[in-house]
């Protein structure tokens, strides 16, 4: 469900995505969304972004170098791999985590990564 929400945000943009569009992307109604899953639109945005960021992190770790000799190759190839797997999703991640409204969530997510 979080990935469906995130994909909907990517398709329509952060400011142009309505609750109805998010609910429809998940195959449910807006009322069901509010009563069973999320308190508000901000919660959906934050949770969906955190979920997708965790998937990006998993990809980084899956390709992480096992030896010092693999580090250079990793640094050279990982941007291409990440762009191929998640390129379209980065725009929304940056919008969310640099928006004054969500900035604190972005700081917390980055702190968790490091």
| Across 8-33, average pLDDT | 91
Alpha-carbon span 36 to 43, nearest angstrom: 13
Reading the block at residue 95, the tokens are 């919008």
| Across 75-99, average pLDDT | 82
Res 8 pLDDT > 90: yes
Q: What is the DSSP string of 66-79?
A: SSGGGHHHHHHHHH
What pLDDT is attached to residue 114?
47
CB 6 within 8 A of CB 14: no
Reading the block at residue 107, the tokens are 């700081």
- Which of 11-15, 49-53, 86-90, 92-96 has the weakest average pLDDT? 86-90
Residue 12: count other Cβ atoms within 10 Å of its Cβ. Answer: 15
Q: Which residue has the higher pLDDT, 85 or 8?
A: 8
Helices (H) and strands (E) in the chain — how many of each?
Answer: 6, 0
What pLDDT is attached to residue 108?
63
The model carries a pTM of: 0.73
């Amino acid at each position: 469900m979080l990935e469906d929400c995130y994909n909907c945000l990517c398709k329509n943009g952060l400011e142009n995505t309505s609750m109805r569009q998010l609910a429809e992307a998940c195959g449910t109604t807006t009322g069901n969304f509010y009563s069973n899953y999320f308190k508000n639109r901000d919660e959906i945005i934050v949770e969906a972004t955190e979920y997708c960021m965790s998937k990006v992190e998993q990809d980084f770790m899956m390709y992480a170098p096992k030896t010092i000799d693999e580090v250079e190759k990793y640094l050279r190839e990982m941007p291409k791999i990440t762009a191929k797997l998640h390129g379209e999703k980065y725009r929304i991640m940056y919008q969310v985590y640099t928006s004054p409204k969500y900035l604190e969530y972005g700081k917390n997510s980055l702190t968790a990564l490091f």
